[in-house]
Every structure is written in C-alpha cells, then in structure tokens.
Amino acid sequence: MSVLRKFLFEGLPVRGMLVRLTDGWQEVLRRRQTVGEHPPEVRVLMGEMAAAAVLMQANIKFNGALVLQMQGDGPVKIAVAEVQPDLAFRATAKVVGEVPAGAQLEALMNVHGQGRCAITLDPKDRLPGQQPYQGVVPLHGDQREPLQQVQQVLEHYMLQSEQLDTRLVLAANDEVAAGLLIQRMPVEGEGNLAGQRNEDDIGLSEHFNRIAMLTATLTREELLALPPEQILHRLFWEETLRVFEPDASATPRFACNCSRERVRNMLRGLGRGESESLIAERGEVEVGCEFCGLQYRFDAVDVGEMFTPVRDQPPGPAAVQ
Ligand SMILES: [Zn+2]
C-alpha cells in the first residue's frame, strides 16, 4: 500500500516527509499499457513527478488540485502529475519520437533549452474570474546549466516561490515511486517580513545544512527498496525525530476525475463546426482520457444536443428531474 509519513526534527526548524507510492503508481502504468507503454526513461520521469506532486500537495495542504506540469522541447512534449487534497493522484506524458537510452531531463525535455516546469494551484471553490495560482521555473540552473533531475528543478522552484530551503530525493521504477522532502521551516520573527529575506540568508542554518547533508547520502536504490522507518533511521539516527501517524483521510492513491460532462464541455469549446465534421467523417466522436485511458463516445444525437440551447430540447429524463 502507498504511504506518506510526516516528521519533525525535535527542537529544530526542520520538517520532512517521505512518500512511497506502490499500488497507485502501478495502476498508472497498467492503464498506460493499454494504449502503448512509454519508454523506461519516461516512466521514471512520470514516477518522480507523481511522488514529488504528492509531497508538495501534502506539504501545503491546499484545498484544490496541485498540478505539476513540465513542457518540453525534446521527445517528451508534456508530462503532468496532478494531486487532489485527499492525495488522489494521476499522471500522464506525451512522447513524440525517439527517447535516447538512459536519457535524463535535458535529453527528454530540454534539448533546446526551452523546457519549462509549471506548478499550478487550482482552488476547489474558485470565485468567478479568479485565476489559479501558477509558478514557472526553467529546466536550467542559475548559471544556465541544464538540470538533469526533476528534484533539482523543484528545489529551485521552492526556493524561488516560497523562499524555503528544500532538499528532495526522488526515485521511481515500475513498482515504486518514492520521494523524501526536507524543508527548513520559516522561523517567526527571524526577519521574515517581505523583502528582508533573500537567497543569501538561506543556507545559513547550520542545523538544516547538517540534515541536508545527511539527506544527500540517501541513494535512489535505498529510497526505492527500504520501508520509510528504515530510511529515516538509516539517515537520521543521531537526530531526535518525531514521526507522525499516517493520516487515514489522506492516503495517496490513483484516481482520475475525468467525466463525460467534462469531455462534453471540451467538445463544446471546440465548436460546433469541428465536432460536426468529426461526426461526418467517422459517424461518432471518440475522446480518450490521457490519464486513465477511459474512452468517451458521442454520436450525432449527442453532438446535436450539445449545441442546442436547453430550452429547445425535447423533454427527456434529464429535463423531467
Ligand atoms: Zn480519466
């Protein structure tokens, strides 16, 4: 079963979280197989993004969807991991062309330096006209050096957007997608007013630096193979750790929130002409969900109804309610 464990370093302004996605992650891969499996390098990318997105959602406890999306200029055009407040997650990627064996982030998504990573927070109860919050970072570092790992991109994002020192270790194979996050908590009264902290202040905490160094000794193999308790003991046995009980109401799991209604709205957005020409061509419109593989079919009658104002529709079961 997938698990998320949160912990604190007693007396220190440092907290952490460890996630291990098993059944839910395997479900993502199984559904993908039905429409054609991605190369292993892309599966690792998606797994690391899924683990990272769950950690980020659990870390901020945002009442809405957290969407981690990378846009690439290499063979991977887009990769997305989306996590709901109850930690239900889904992930997908679009690949066009050949993926070189052993490809890392640069060869996958940042061949021409145009790759981007966007984190979107889409509130559940969005007010009319309210835009979702979005932060964007490039896939290169401060010296324009291309980054090779998702974890480096996200550490950079968190430093920029939240001004928080963060260390991430991510890893994935076909059974497990896992991640460890360590974060320096903002200390109250410590020059925490706007404009008073800058990136120079960050990195000065001796406690955080020690814990960050210990974190960096964790190998991907260990992160994938060992149970959370063992990883924490192996890294931090000299620290005083308080590990919280898992929150039963937020266990990471696979779930897709696509629906016939959403696809219908998407087709409406496409316009009447486009939808009707698809009907003329194939007799029906078929739309597959990229996340879960579900197929939605609409025939000529469905499409006709879509573009007819409700008051002109003949009374049917829906109108009687
Ligand atoms: Zn779906």
Query: What CATH number does residue 26 fall under?
Result: 3.55.30.10
Overall pTM > 0.85: yes
The verdict on 67 and 112 lying in the same domain is: yes
Task: Look at residue 249 and tell me whether its pLDDT is greater than 90.
Answer: no
Please indicate, yes or no, whether residues 273 and 204 belong to a single structural domain of this protein.
no
* Rounded average pLDDT over 282-306: 90
Give mean pLDDT, residues 21-34: 95
**214-227: average pLDDT:** 97
**pLDDT score of 195:** 47
Collect residues with CB below 5 Å from ion ligand 1: 256, 258, 289, 291-292, 294
State whether 268 and 241 are in the same domain: no
Centroid of ligand 1 to alpha carbon of 245 (angstroms): 31
Q: How confident is the model at residue 188 (pLDDT cuts 50, 70, 90)?
A: low
Q: Of 18-22, 58-62, 119-123, 161-165, which one has max mean pLDDT?
A: 18-22
How many independent structural domains does the chain possess? 2
Give the model's confidence band at 203: pLDDT under 50 very low, under 70 low, under 90 confident, else very high. Answer: low
> Cα 158 to the chain's mean position, in Å?
14
Residues 40 and 103 in one domain: yes
Tell me how far the alpha carbon of residue 296 lies from the centroid of ligand 1, in angstroms: 10
Mean pLDDT of the chain: 90
- For ligand 1, the distance from its centroid to the CA atom of residue 218, given in whole angstroms, is 35
Distance 93 CA to ligand 1 centre (A): 13
Q: What is the CATH number of the domain that holds 288?
A: 3.90.1280.10
**Cα 250 to ligand 1 centroid, rounded to whole Å:** 20
Q: What pLDDT score does 78 carry? A: 97
The alpha carbon of 260 and the centre of ligand 1 are apart by a number of angstroms equal to: 10
pLDDT at 81: 98
Res 320 pLDDT > 70: no
Tokens (6 digits) for 108: 């996958």
The answer, yes or no, to whether residue 187 has pLDDT greater than 80, is no
320 part of a folded domain: no
Boundaries of domain holding 244 = 3-254
Which runs of E-coded beta strand occur in the chain? 3-9, 14-21, 64-71, 76-83, 88-95, 116-123, 133-138, 166-172, 177-184, 241-243, 253-254, 284-288, 295-299
